[in-house]
Amino acid sequence: MRAAGAGRAAAAGLAASAVLAVAAWLAGALPSGDPAPTLRLAGLGSTSGRFQLGLLLWLVATAALGLIWWRSRNPSVLWFAPLLFAPPLASRDVYAYACQGDIWLAGLDPYKLGVADGGCLWTPSVPELWWHTPTPYGPLAIVLSGAAVAIAKFVATDLDTQLTIAVTVLRLIALGGLALLGWGLKTLGRNGKGWWLGLLTPLVALHAVSGAHNDAVLAGLIVAGLAAATSKRKNDWLIAGVLIGGAVAIKVTALVALPFVLLLLPPWRQRWAALAASVGTFAALTLASGLGLGWVNGLRDTGDLQQWTSLPTGAGMAVGYLLRAFGIDAMSASITVARALGLIALLIIGLYAIRKSWRAPAATVIAACGWVLAALAVLGPVFYPWYALAPLAVLAAAGTEAWTRTRIAVTVGLCFLVLPNGLGLAVLTKGPGAFAALAAVIALLAYAVRARPRPTG
């Protein structure tokens, strides 16, 4: 009976994924351009019937996949397959990756030039945000994108075919990150519930398999690094250091995982050696790419975005709207102050997590790492749903039961935060979203005060 139920769940999940693939062809992030360019300003009624059908299919299939995943708790990797043969869903970033790799192959610096400024011929496929904005990703991310483009140009001469091949290779790289994540979960003894909560999820299907985001590789490197740090095998401390150094070379935010990897290595000699291995790996990748530390400028540019999905940014926007009602125009200042407070809160959370992890069991250390990564995602100046891939994966690696229902709800809910063509709902709901973010901040502060230990005696 159990096998029959698992078979039905696998078939149902595969069917939902196949419908998602159809939706991608109708309303996804097509390389030819946005299938609904008037949606943001003129509303759904201004879009084509083709897009509206695709949007409906996406909504139904995403909800179905989320329900099947939650109810079955035994997902199948086959659910990913249909998405590999369809355009990306919910993001056009993979086209930006291809252009950044193309710019780097041409001997130009993607840390100084946007994709349009670098002369990428695939620029029309890229979100306008990246046309004149340098990339914020690390040197390894650029090298991997360059490798994908090099393969595409070796195989084909037609521009459209080259872009299709480059996207396919970038998806294979993302799958490699997921394979690394699966290895890390299995090594930690989490190939069961851990795979369900951290690897074979609807969020992974949409943003790692379909969207091919760098965060898939990031999550794989971090979890594998944590797993290597818990191993008793000789020289695994070196592997742990190299993996975390590689993660930082994908996105600098991975740096917050380094202290927890070091805490998993009991002898101080191994900790210093692993730290040296991480620094050496990042330095070697930086030198090999020839790009230096220009990604720092790219990080600064991402702060120009103002979306309520970042809790500090959303709270700052809400305060700005309230002040505007009284005739005070202080939106920029409100957001700046709120973001600064968010970074202070993140620092406090990080220091508290490190203190709690000192001499703690491995599961506690890994869970602390996951919660800090989650705090980094929501307290940073910008948040997109794929930012949750790494923290959710690390929490699954810890095997923690804490907030499981919340993590399930977040995993499914984030799948609906960006429409299939890549338009984020945050753009369409600035006012309501900002006040929702402010309410969430107030609720979290109230929870923190209530949960604070009371002095005894």
Question: What is the rounded distance in angstroms from the CA atom of residue 251 to the CA atom of residue 198?
Answer: 19
Question: What is the rounded distance in angstroms from the CA atom of residue 389 to the CA atom of residue 391?
Answer: 6
pLDDT score at 296: 73
What's the number of CA atoms in the CB half-sphere (13 Å) around residue 180? 27
Long-range CB contact pairs, 277-284, < 8 A, 24+: 277/237, 277/238, 277/240, 277/241, 277/242, 277/245, 278/241, 278/242, 278/244, 278/245, 278/248, 279/245, 280/241, 280/245, 281/241, 281/242, 281/245, 281/246, 281/249, 282/138, 282/245, 282/246, 282/248, 282/249
The helix (H) or strand (E) run that includes residue 299 is helix 295-302
Terminal CA-CA length for the chain = 56
pLDDT score at 3: 57
Q: Alpha carbon of 54 to those of 51, 212, 398: distances in Å? A: 5, 20, 38
DSSP labels for 196-262? HHHTSSHHHIIIIIIS--HHHHHHHHHHHHHHHHH--STTHHHHHHHHHHHHHTT-GGGGGGHHHHH
CB 100 within 8 A of CB 148: no
The pLDDT tens digits along the chain (457 residues) read 455 566 888 899 999 999 999 999 999 999 999 999 999 999 999 999 999 999 999 999 999 999 999 998 889 999 999 999 999 999 999 999 999 999 999 999 999 999 999 999 999 999 888 899 999 999 999 999 999 999 999 999 999 999 999 999 999 999 999 999 999 999 999 888 999 999 999 999 999 999 999 999 999 999 999 999 998 888 899 999 999 999 999 999 999 999 999 999 988 889 999 999 999 999 999 999 998 877 777 666 666 688 999 999 999 999 999 999 999 999 999 999 999 999 999 999 999 999 999 999 999 999 999 999 999 999 999 999 999 999 999 999 999 888 999 999 999 999 999 999 999 999 999 999 999 999 999 999 998 887 766 555 4
pLDDT score at 1: 45
CB 223 within 8 A of CB 185: yes
pLDDT score at 2: 56
Convert 7-66 into a string of H (helix), E (strand) and C (coil).
HHHHHHHHHHHHHHHHHHHHHCCCCCCCCCCCHHHHCHHHCCHHHHHHHHHHHHHHHHHH
